Amino acid sequence: MKSIPLLCFYLCLAQQVAYSFQASIHPLEVAALKAIAKKWGIRSFDNTTIDCRPDYPGPGNDDLLIFDCDCPSGSIKVYARHAGPVPMELFDLAELTTLNLSENKLSGTLPPQLGSLTQLKFLSLRSNRFSGPIPKELGELNSLEELHIDSSGLTGEIPAELGKLSNLRTIWAFDNLFTGKLPEFFGRLVKLEEMRIHGTELEGPIPSNYSSLTNLRELSLGDLTKVDSTVAFVESLKNLSILSLRNCLIVGPLPNKLESFLELVYLDLSFNKLTGHIPDSFQNLTSIQALFLGSNNLSGLLPQHILVPSMTTLNFIGTSVDTDDLRYRQDGDILSCLRAGASCSSKDVPYTNTSISINCGGPEQESNSGIIFSADSEDLGAASFYLDPHRPWLVSSSRSYFPSSAKSVAATDLKIEGTSDPHLYKTARLSTGSLRYFALRMKPGNYSVELHFAEIILEDDDDGDMQSLVGPGRRLFDVYLQDSPMNVVSMMQGVRVLRDFNIQAEANGSRRALVKEFTVNVSVDGIVDIHFFWAGRGTCCIPRQGTFGPLVSAINISRHLEDEETPESGRRNSSGGGGGGGGGLKKEIVVGIVFGCAAGLLILASVLYLWWKKDDGEGSKWAHRGFSEVNDD
């Protein structure tokens, strides 16, 4: 049965009502609700009284219009399975204080009449299919405290009239194609406590007057274009607990006065152009849990005592930060070719491979054509990597902060359409930030890179009997392949071959196999670098929080026949076998350092460095050196 879109909006009336099973509201408002119900085909109800029900039974119940008196002024919740434009009758409800139209398929332009609902304190339009700009009339909502317009489909410049929302405490505006400069007038909204703006077309710089937003607890800006920014404005925002300025073209040094940020638990300044060293004052961030500094031009020594007891994740890959003085570090050359400013030359890395195949997120599998796809089923942490023990490839992942519990692998038992190898698409590796695969020790030449995808988490709009909020979800991410020659960890080097890639849209539905094929040239570095990158776009929370970012099912890399010296099949060699299931080495340092803290102990576990060892008697082979330490706090 084809599902019907679920529309849910909450109407909180500012007038007083009697809290009884029958709660009366104004006849004009009842008339407006009846008109909305008629337009959407909802069953009729009594003109003078409304059934006040505190518990919504959920989609699929026979009741299509249910009300809930759950706020001090009396509230109405209307659930209707319909979509389309916002009904004009809605604006007859002039005393609304809460309007939630989120996670539906509403379309068309936003009516300027929204500005007439001047009693609104909460407005959510998130996760819809609107078009056109934000109406400037929204600036008349002087009582508004929360505004959620993320993933709503809105475009154009953010109107200056929003600078009049002096009571605003929360604004979510990410995943919309807004243009122009990041608004300076937001710096005048001094009551702001939470701001999320990323995945847009907005240009920098970050306005210096954002330093006035001293009530901010969370600031998440990202994906700014064209103009560089600095972080000098941050030093006055001492109430921050979450600060993310990922991919904002930030230049200059790191802020040196963060020791007074007693509430800061998450700091992400990755994928920028920061220079200099990590200040010693970072050792005084006593509440910090996650610190992401990777893909910057940072250098110098990592402060010796930066690993405070609260820290669980430290990410500095893609920098030239020297970790030699850390007491748990074992000196080794591993992946020196993956450090900023380094390269993998032929004298360092012997070339032995002409093909690599990986079953991302799943066990070892053999395709119908006889290709062995190595296992890749380790559940990576917030910033960690996995190295296959038999074949020279690795995967690194770093996740964004919400939520920290998001999984890095996914699986389904449902049928996969459009392929003769459905088992390759029933698992996937995913990340809410950056996901990167490296095939190493590849012989120079031209290679075919096949990327296999199937969306196995988000559902289609008409999937079975699903009458839930899964339909409006959108997963968007970018894919970069190396440009040759290259330094594989420098920020976003290589060629972006897919932008705002939507697996569902390309494959015409969920659980449908899709293959994208590209050609890359492997130079003397002997590396194929595939980077799946979340650029802040797509819905964040459908069907659950953390459902966004890259997802890939399998990878197959093979050398072009004309470049082959000795033909090889894609089969695993006799020593081969996939990782996962305990045979591989789960590394937690290539993209950072990840450790667990329990019962007063800081456990530095599996901090492993790999290295290539040249053995004249046996030829070239992989070797590893591991180190674990338990440090009494």
Closest alpha carbon to 439 in 348, 336, 534, 556: 556
Give the best-scoring range by mean pLDDT among 22-26, 208-212, 439-443, 547-551: 208-212
Arithmetic mean of pLDDT, 474-494: 66
- Rounded CA gap, 488 and 440, in Å? 11
Look up the CATH superfamily of 101-252: Ribonuclease Inhibitor (3.80.10.10)
- 225-239, 261-275, 343-357: the lowest-pLDDT one: 343-357
The neighbour count for residue 389, using CB atoms within 10 Å, is 17
Compute the distance between CA of residue 393 and CA of residue 329 in angstroms, rounded to an integer. 23
Asked if residue 4 has pLDDT above 60, the reply is no
Per the CB < 8 A criterion, the answer to whether 188 and 208 are in contact is no
**pLDDT for residue 434 is more than 60:** yes
Per-residue model confidence (pLDDT) at position 359: 97
| 560 vs 404, residue with greater confidence | 560
- pLDDT of 96 > 60? The answer is yes
| Residues 587-616, mean pLDDT to the nearest whole number | 30
Task: Tell me which residue of 1, 53, 47 sits closest to 22, measured CA to CA.
Answer: 53
Confidence of residue 612 (pLDDT cuts 50, 70, 90): very low
The mean pLDDT of the chain is 75
Q: Per-residue pLDDT tens for 130-149?
A: 999 999 999 999 999 999 99
- Percent of the chain surpassing pLDDT 90: 44
pLDDT, average across residues 419-438? 93
For 275-292, what is the mean pLDDT?
A: 91
* Amino acid 174: pLDDT: 94
CA trace torsion 434, 198, 340, 354 (10° rounding): 40
Whether the per-residue pLDDT at 228 is higher than 60: the answer is: yes
How much is the pLDDT for 317?
76
d(CA 327, CA 324): 8
Mean pLDDT confidence for 329-352? 45
* Two structure tokens written together for 467: 């009458």
Which range in 261-270, 342-351, 478-487 is most confidently predicted, on average pLDDT? 261-270
Mean pLDDT, residues 354-361 taken together = 95
Residue-level pLDDT at 138:
97
Q: Which CATH number fits domain 342-586: 3.40.50.970, 2.40.50.100, 3.40.605.10, 2.60.120.430?
A: 2.60.120.430
Report the pLDDT value the prediction gives residue 432, as an integer from 0 to 100: 87
Statement: residue 268 has pLDDT above 90: yes
Q: Are 612 and 313 in contact (CB under 8 A)?
A: no
pTM confidence score: 0.77
- CATH 2.60.120.430-classified regions of the chain: 342-586
Residue 515 is given by DSSP the state: E
> What average pLDDT score do residues 167-173 get?
97
The answer to whether residues 553 and 453 touch, using CB atoms and an 8 Å cutoff, is yes
Question: Average of pLDDT values for 69-89?
Answer: 58
Segment 165-176 shows an average pLDDT of 96
Q: What pLDDT score does 351 carry? A: 64
Per-residue pLDDT band for 483 (boundaries 50, 70, 90) equals low
Enumerate the CATH 3.80.10.10 domain ranges in the chain, comma separated.
101-252
- Mean of pLDDT values over 413-432: 95
Query: 224: helix, coil or strand?
Result: coil
Distance between CA atoms of residues 467 and 425, nearest Å: 25
pLDDT at residue 539, rounded to an integer: 82
CA-based nearest residue to 201, from 495, 479, 500 = 500
Please state whether the peptide bond connecting residue 205 to the residue before it is cis, i.e. omega within 30 degrees of 0.
yes
Going by C-alpha positions, the residue among 488, 499, 588 that lies closest to residue 528 is 488
The most confident of 134-138, 306-310, 409-413, 435-439, by mean pLDDT: 134-138
Residue 35 has pLDDT above 50, yes or no: yes
Strands (E) in 158-289, as ranges, are 170-172, 177-179, 194-197, 218-221, 242-244, 251-252, 266-268, 273-276
* Residue the block writes with tokens 């400037």: 136
pLDDT at 53: 45
Q: How far apart are CA 255 and CA 235, in angstroms?
A: 7
Nearest to 308 by CA among 597, 94, 95: 597
- Find out whether 133 and 149 touch, Cβ atoms under 8 Å: no
Residues 163-169: contacts with CB within 8 Å, 24+ apart?
A: 163/139, 163/188, 163/189, 164/139, 164/140, 165/138, 165/139, 165/141, 165/189, 166/142, 166/191, 167/142, 167/143, 167/191, 168/144, 168/192, 169/145, 169/193, 169/194
Per-residue pLDDT tens digits for 290-315: 898 988 999 998 888 888 888 888 88
- Give residue-wise pLDDT tens across range 371-385: 999 999 988 877 777
